[in-house]
Amino acid sequence: MRTLFISALIALCTATVSAQKQSVDVPNIIPEPVSLSVGSGRFVLPDNVLIAAPSKNEETAFTVDFLKEKLSVATGKHVRADAKASNACIALSLNKKYDAKIGDEGYALSVTPTKITLTANKPAGLFYGVQTLLQLFPPEIESKEKAENAAWEIPVVEIVDYPRVGWRGLMFDTARHFFTVNEVKQYIDTMVRYKYNMFHWHLSDDEGWRIEITSLPKLTEIGAWRVEKIGTFNYFSNPLPDEPKTYGGFYTHDDVREIVRYAKERFVNVMPEIDVPAHSLAAIASYPELSCTPGAEKYNVRAGEPIMDWNFSPPRAFVDNTLCPANEKVYEFMDKVMTEIAQLFPFEYIHVGGDEAPHNFWEQSPQVQALMKRERLTTYPQVQSYFEKRLEKIIRAKGKKMMGWDEILEGGITPTTALMSWRGEKHGIEASNSGHYVVMSPSNFVYIDLMQGDASTEPPVYNSLRLSRTYQFNPLPEGANAKYILGGQANLWTEQIYNLRQAQYMTWPRAFAVAESVWSPLEKKDWKRFIEKTENHFKRFDFAEIKYSPAMYDPIVSVSKTDDKYYVTLTPEIEGLDIYTSFDNSSPDRFYPKYTEPQLIPKDAVQMRIITYKGKQPAGRLMTIKVDDLKKRAK
Ligand code: ACM
């Protein structure tokens, strides 16, 4: 870091230094490496690039091809790999002697003016080293065609790097909206640039069953399809009986095998999630006999209409979306599902959901009442626990381990069940201290379905999570037993996400922040520096044609009320922004008065407009907020 500061200083002192050169000199690596020192001089990519790489190694072959492709497309240079080349300018090799410091995923990258040397103990380390190497090049390296006028050179550096935690995940909900195999691959492609190694694949919910189970064909004949609605999910009208159910889709076994193979090549594990006993309306619409209320109503795969009253905890359901824990058919069903899931997914864990199970239909069920009497269960979390314990037996019989959302802790869990902590950190801390393996995924830091900017500019979601807050995520929080914390993960629920572009927008840059939280040493995290790097990665994403959110350039808006007067406070999330506002319906620019203090809302104003600038350039989006909305926010 010290060397980095020194090189930044030199850049500042050299008045003639070009922006281009500066961006090349200060490595913008996300996640920040464990150790990085910048030397003097630069490596210039020759016109003919020769890569030396381990021969006949299936696991490294993809990494070499990946590097070859990335280097040749954008630069237009001739790149080839030859295992025996002694004069190669880029050399990738596996250590003959295991270097315990860098472990299975770490690497060492050395750049001199004449040679790039990348070493690792295992193929995964070489892959991550290649991601770092690519980030040393200017943003044009991400161009999908030959980029003209880029300087294909990188600074002389020495990097030694390895992850803070082993589980570095993103969850993608393909149940609320279906995403094609190609889109799932694109999502994985972007993850791996930031050294994520876990793709948690949410495959079933009230709004769709997305995986073929050949022994239960109705799951995908019926459960994968619903009435199409566009607008604000959760507030749609009830689907009419004659509306066509043509919206949705599912993954065949071949699709799943293809995704698992694709992910593995990129050193990503795929963990499937089948969310039970609640969030199961798509399964119940397919097989109504699995509910505690068969025949009581006509079940439909949910199309976004309200089905829960969230004023209660757990929520009360208007429509029974739970599998019946007292019904033997449910365990036969789960056995069939888990047989196929276990065969399709090599990863050791199967996630079984377990979140947000309403109790109100169980309360009315004579079957559940009889079960409670027979098993001496006195609470509904215990009823759920009875279900989870039987489910775990099924899963273990298939040679797999079970993981669930933290609600499954409530009625008591077996010692071998693992937990994903989402309702804050406390359940994960508690579980780790009682010897359960835990993945930290607290909604108040890493729920990337939440709004990242002001409600006036984002699709409405029940809460907000700014980038600065996500950056504070610590997968190893105080009080946890680190030995049992597998790692951390961000979750992308897709109720309000209708397409891949929006999925990208919601994921990035918050997943940069999560990547740095799960990979980099805590003491290497630096918010100011992270934002500089994020801006560089925005340029990379522009070349790569990946969408991201610029919400960090929009200020945080809060309103206070004093003596019947309303004042608007605007707080920039990042440094270096000037804010301009108007209440006269016109669009402010940098020639309007600069915001310096809370603004009184004029008595007859109808809307406030806000924009930020960085120097002479607009940075944020033009925000327009109705005065009525502002007044509702007053604290
Ligand atoms: C969850 O967000 N309901 C796990």
Q: Peptide bond preceding 31: is omega within 30 degrees of 0, i.e. cis?
A: yes
Please state the separation of Cα 585 from the chain's center in Å. 38
State if residue 422 touches ligand 1 by the CB under 6 angstroms criterion: yes
Q: How far apart are CA 316 and CA 356, in angstroms?
A: 9
State if residue 183 touches ligand 1 by the CB under 6 angstroms criterion: no
* Average pLDDT estimate for 402-422: 96
State if residue 407 touches ligand 1 by the CB under 6 angstroms criterion: no
One-letter identity of residue 604: D
Residue nearest to atom 3 of ligand 1 (CA): 355
Pick the closest to residue 150 from 79, 52, 62, 45 (CA basis). Answer: 45
CB 263 within 8 A of CB 269: yes
Given a cut of 70, is residue 13 above it in pLDDT? no
Q: Which range is least confidently modeled, 286-300, 360-374, 532-546? A: 286-300
Pairing state between β 153-161 and 167-173: unpaired
State if residue 447 touches ligand 1 by the CB under 6 angstroms criterion: no
Q: How far apart are CA 479 and CA 166, in angstroms?
A: 19
Going 277 to 317 to 383 to 365, the CA torsion angle's sign is negative
Given a cut of 90, is residue 184 above it in pLDDT? yes
Determine the distance separating the centroid of ligand 1 and the alpha carbon of 422, expressed in angstroms. Answer: 7
- Classify burial at 425, counting beta carbons within 10 Å of its beta carbon; exposed 0-12, middle 13-18, buried 19 or more: buried
The ligand 1 atom nearest the CA atom of 356: 3
Given a cut of 90, is residue 26 above it in pLDDT? no
**CATH class of the domain whose range is 2-161:** alpha beta
State if residue 444 touches ligand 1 by the CB under 6 angstroms criterion: no
How does pLDDT run across 602-611, given as a tens digit for each residue? 999 999 999 9
How does pLDDT run across 452-510, given as a tens digit for each residue? 999 999 999 999 999 999 999 999 999 999 999 999 999 999 999 999 999 999 999 99
Q: How far apart are CA 42 and CA 114, in angstroms?
A: 8
Determine the distance separating the centroid of ligand 1 and the alpha carbon of 375, expressed in angstroms. Answer: 28
The ligand 1 atom nearest the CA atom of 493: 2
Given a cut of 50, is residue 7 above it in pLDDT? no
pTM, two decimal places: 0.95
Residue pointed to by tokens 């593995």: 264
Tokens at 567, concatenated: 């004042």
The ligand 1 atom nearest the CA atom of 279: 3
Pick the closest to residue 170 from 143, 197, 146 (CA basis). Answer: 197
- Classify burial at 586, counting beta carbons within 10 Å of its beta carbon; exposed 0-12, middle 13-18, buried 19 or more: exposed
Residue 296: per-residue pLDDT = 67
* Average pLDDT estimate for 502-530: 98
Q: How far apart are CA 540 and CA 21, in angstroms?
A: 16
State if residue 356 touches ligand 1 by the CB under 6 angstroms criterion: yes
Pocket test for ligand 1, best of 273, 356, 448, 462 (most atoms within 8 A of CB): 356
Residue nearest to atom 1 of ligand 1 (CA): 355
Q: What is the DSSP letter of 181?
A: H
Supply the mean pLDDT for the chain: 94
Residue 298: per-residue pLDDT = 82
Pairing state between β 116-120 and 90-94: parallel
The ligand 1 atom nearest the CA atom of 420: 4
How does pLDDT run across 191-232, given as a tens digit for each residue? 999 999 999 999 999 999 999 999 999 999 999 999 999 999
Determine the distance separating the centroid of ligand 1 and the alpha carbon of 262, expressed in angstroms. Answer: 27
Given a cut of 50, is residue 8 above it in pLDDT? no
Given a cut of 60, is residue 547 above it in pLDDT? yes
Nearby residues of 82 by Cβ (< 8 Å), 6 or more positions away:
50, 51, 52, 88
* Average pLDDT estimate for 60-81: 95
At the topology level, CATH places domain 167-546 in TIM Barrel (3.20.20)
3 state DSSP class of 585: coil
CA-based Rg of the chain, rounded to a whole angstrom?
A: 26
Q: How far apart are CA 301 and CA 128, in angstroms?
A: 41
Pocket test for ligand 1, best of 273, 355, 408, 423 (most atoms within 8 A of CB): 355
Pick the closest to residue 559 from 623, 627, 634 (CA basis). Answer: 634
One-letter identity of residue 5: F
Nearby residues of 30 by Cβ (< 8 Å), 6 or more positions away:
135, 194, 512, 515, 516, 530, 533, 534, 537
Residue 430: per-residue pLDDT = 97
3 state DSSP class of 159: strand
Q: Which range is least confidently modeled, 84-88, 137-141, 352-356? A: 84-88
Residue 203: per-residue pLDDT = 99
User: How long a stretch of residues is the chain?
Assistant: 635
Q: Give the residue extent of every domain in the chain.
A: 2-161, 167-546, 554-632
Residue 35: which H helix or E strand, with range?
A: strand 35-44
Catalytically active residues are 205, 279, 356
Pocket test for ligand 1, best of 204, 275, 406, 422 (most atoms within 8 A of CB): 422
The ligand 1 atom nearest the CA atom of 405: 4
Residue 56: per-residue pLDDT = 74
Determine the distance separating the centroid of ligand 1 and the alpha carbon of 355, expressed in angstroms. Answer: 6
Q: How many CB atoms lie within 10 A of CB 4?
A: 16
Sheet with 90-94, edge to edge strand ranges = 35-44, 153-161, 107-111, 116-120, 90-94, 48-52, 78-81
How does pLDDT run across 292-334, given as a tens digit for each residue? 988 867 899 999 999 999 999 999 999 999 999 999 999 999 9
Residue 182: per-residue pLDDT = 98
The ligand 1 atom nearest the CA atom of 443: 2
